[in-house]
Amino acid sequence: MRQKNVRMGKYVLASIVASLCATGPMAANAQNLQGREMNVVSWGGAWTEASRVNFFEPFEKETGVKINVIPARSQAFLDCRLLPGQDPEAWRQQVIDFIDDDRIQVEFARQTSGRLPKPAEWDTELFWTINAVVKEAMEEAVVVPAMTVGATDNRFLRDRGIPAYGFIPCLLSPEERRGFHGNNEFLTIDNLNMGCELMYEIVRRMVV
């Protein structure tokens, strides 16, 4: 299968494709072009969409030549959760070493604070209050630390020496857990009532 790469100014390229689409002999020789491909390097956005509708699709239909739109620049975003104590810059260097390609730049999407993630302290008044309230509500409950894959604002509080934990005082069913951040996210009335009662009692004991 023959391919041809085209990379030039967008207005020049549009003119070329438009001319090809409108040329009579092109239609006459369409059978000779079946199965061929043309790679077009595009800048993306509205220009590419307009070109696709007005030039590329009619050209493909008329000639049988498949047009592959290749972005001039590609980006990939990695949504990562670093472990407490892990250095963000050291992690970035690991990614660079793994990719091993000088043409690819690896940078943070947002400026990092430069501070290492801090683990939460568990031997605190807040933790033991949560433990006591939960055990009073459910005698066989075991309160243990865990790490969430989500991001919260607790890290900002811990940076200032304020104990902060993620706490969901509910007994979630598999259906409720699967609905997190989904279109059909829901919480049963029983879980809502339980959560309000447990959270109220924890706050009440902390402030007295």
**In this predicted structure, what is the pLDDT of residue 155?**
79
Cα atoms in the 13 Å half-sphere on the side-chain side of 47: 14
Encode pLDDT of 19-57 as tens digits.
Answer: 444 444 444 455 566 778 888 877 777 878 888 888 888
Residue 125 has pLDDT above 90, yes or no: yes
- For domain 125-207, give the fold: DNA polymerase; domain 1 (1.10.150)
Whether 63 and 28 have beta carbons less than 8 Å apart is answered as no
Q: Between these two residues, 193 and 156, which has the higher pLDDT value?
A: 193
- The crossing angle, in degrees rounded to 10, of helices 125-137 and 189-207 is 140
Sequence spans of domains, the chain: 3-71, 75-116, 125-207
The predicted structure's pLDDT at residue 11: 42
Please provide residue 27's backbone torsions phi and psi, each rounded to the nearest 5 degrees. Answer: -65, -40
Alpha helices in the chain (DSSP H): 10-22, 24-28, 30-33, 45-51, 57-63, 88-99, 125-137, 154-159, 174-178, 189-207
pTM over 0.85: no
**Residues 50-78 pLDDT 10s:** 888 888 888 888 888 888 888 777 788 88
Choose between 166 and 18: higher pLDDT. Answer: 166
